[in-house]
């Protein structure tokens, strides 16, 4: 991504709304923590609140029927460290990895640090095209080609498309994971950011001894990304392998602060506020798109998350960005979310999470002007 000038309206940024970051509550929790425990949270070993954070995250998983008897939770420095640790453990330079196309760019970059062997499977408004995956897997098997060991998916409110995998496809994917013996990394960074209703996670749908789902969670989109709190929920033995690679590359102070915050806050109330704010911002963005974009432009309507994925036929959105930035609005060109960047040229990702309501309206107006002058 080129640098975006500071005065640009940032429809590119997948950050939380500034007003939803619980600054006051965090400040109070950190003060209380230091008052009560003094230097303890600032040592390598840290506060007991770290353990309490783990217990809290486990309870969150249990609430959504995600923990089996043999499962545990490993806290990581964000979902990204979780994905990196899983990749370290499972992927070598011969490993085949399945990714959604498009998908979260950081995850792509992480996997590319470990292997060059990928299978890209498309995504539509019902999520990953599992029929296409089955055809690919069957073809590989028939032709004696190497089968994948891992599949990475963001089944709920995907980044960048905003779409959600249907229940039917979730069942199909889980069936394929058993039939072809691969593990599924379920990245659920946006699972709690729903507008009307949440989805059953792949992890909760796969509770048997032979479950192949490794669940990755994050507090970045629902509390504060700078705290870098993520986790993996999976078999305890598998988590032991991950923690071997993690060593003590933790942030005990951030974890203790988050533990203290969660102890003092009504998280469900925070979720209720957050869901309403993002639903309203998303509705606004969609209605502005309808008003200001040419009829040839289309998009998926998300049921949660942070993003709207827009198709601008016959336009290279990475070239158009320069004009958009000159007009004072930014987005992320679609190509960055693909292994084969050519596939993403006609797409762009808009985020409604970070910009204020007035900036969303003004930003889409500016984008409309730029697209109109490119299309006609
Ligand atoms: C799908 C997805 N996973 C993970 C992350 C990052 O999570 P964390 O901040 O916990 O590393 C993001 C952030 O944009 C994301 O979109």
CATH architecture type of domain 23-264: 3-Layer(aba) Sandwich (3.40)
14 vs 281: CA distance, rounded Å: 13
Decide: 159 in ligand 1 pocket, CB within 6 A.
Answer: yes
Stretch 351-363: mean pLDDT? 98
Shortest-distance Cα residue to atom 2 of ligand 1: 189
Indicate where the chain has its CATH 3.40.640.10 domain(s).
23-264
In this prediction, residue 45 carries a pLDDT of 87
In this prediction, residue 247 carries a pLDDT of 84
| Nearest atom, ligand 1, residue 154 CA | 1
Decide: 230 in ligand 1 pocket, CB within 6 A.
Answer: yes
Nearest to 107 by CA among 127, 94, 93, 91: 91
Share of the chain above pLDDT 90, in %: 96
Q: Using CB atoms within 10 A of its CB, is residue 140 exposed (0-12), middle (13-18) or buried (19+)?
A: middle
Decide: 216 in ligand 1 pocket, CB within 6 A.
Answer: no
Decide: 344 in ligand 1 pocket, CB within 6 A.
Answer: no
- Annotate 222-284 with three-state secondary structure: CCCHHHCEEEEEEEHHHHHHHHHHHCCCCCHHHHHHHHHHHHHCCHHHHHHHHHHHHHHHHHH
Averaged confidence pLDDT in the chain: 96
| Nearest atom, ligand 1, residue 80 CA | 11
Instruction: CATH number for 9-21+269-375: choose from 3.90.1150.10, 1.10.10.10, 1.10.600.10, 3.20.20.140.
Output: 3.90.1150.10
In this prediction, residue 306 carries a pLDDT of 98
- pLDDT tens-digit readout, 86-102: 999 999 999 999 999 99
In this prediction, residue 376 carries a pLDDT of 60
Decide: 189 in ligand 1 pocket, CB within 6 A.
Answer: yes
Indicate where the chain has its CATH 3.90.1150.10 domain(s).
9-21+269-375
Q: Using CB atoms within 10 A of its CB, is residue 58 exposed (0-12), middle (13-18) or buried (19+)?
A: middle
Decide: 193 in ligand 1 pocket, CB within 6 A.
Answer: no
- 109-113, 208-212, 213-217: which range is least confident on average? 208-212
In this prediction, residue 375 carries a pLDDT of 73
Shortest-distance Cα residue to atom 16 of ligand 1: 159
């Amino acid at each position: 991504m080129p640098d975006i000038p500071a005065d640009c309206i940032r429809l590119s940024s997948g950050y939380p709304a500034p007003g939803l970051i619980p600054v006051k509550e965090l400040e109070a929790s950190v003060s209380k923590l230091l008052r009560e425990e003094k230097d303890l949270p600032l040592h390598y070993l840290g506060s007991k609140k770290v353990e309490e954070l783990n217990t809290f995250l486990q309870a969150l998983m249990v609430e959504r029927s995600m923990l089996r008897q043999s499962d545990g939770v490993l806290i990581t420095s964000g979902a990204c460290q979780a994905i990196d640790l899983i990749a370290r453990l499972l992927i070598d330079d011969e490993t085949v990895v399945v990714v959604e196309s498009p998908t979260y760019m950081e995850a792509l970059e992480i996997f590319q640090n470990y292997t060059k062997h990928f299978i890209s499977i498309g995504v539509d408004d019902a999520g990953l095209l599992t029929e296409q995956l089955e055809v690919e897997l069957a073809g590989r098997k028939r032709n004696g080609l190497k089968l994948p060991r891992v599949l990475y998916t963001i089944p709920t409110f995907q980044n960048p498309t905003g779409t959600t995998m249907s229940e039917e496809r979730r069942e199909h994917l889980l069936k394929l994971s058993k039939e072809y013996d691969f593990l599924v990394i379920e990245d659920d960074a946006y699972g709690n950011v729903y507008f009307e209703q949440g989805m059953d996670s792949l992890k909760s749908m796969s509770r048997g001894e032979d479950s192949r789902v490794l669940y990755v969670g994050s507090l970045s989109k629902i509390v504060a990304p700078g705290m870098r709190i993520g986790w993996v929920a999976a078999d305890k033995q598998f988590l032991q392998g991950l923690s071997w690679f993690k060593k003590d590359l933790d942030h005990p102070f951030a974890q203790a602060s988050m533990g203290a915050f969660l102890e003092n806050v009504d998280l469900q109330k925070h979720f209720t506020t957050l869901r309403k704010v993002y639903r309203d911002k998303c509705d606004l963005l969609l209605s502005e798109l309808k008003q200001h974009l040419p009829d040839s432009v289309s998009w998926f309507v998300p049921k949660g998350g942070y993003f709207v994925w827009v198709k601008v036929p016959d336009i290279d959105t990475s070239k158009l960005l320069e004009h958009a930035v000159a007009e004072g609005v930014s987005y992320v060109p679609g190509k960055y979310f693909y292994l084969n960047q050519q596939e993403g040229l006609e797409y762009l990702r808009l985020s409604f999470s970070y910009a204020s309501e007035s900036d969303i309206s003004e930003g889409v107006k500016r984008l409309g002007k730029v697209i109109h002058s490119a299309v006609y």
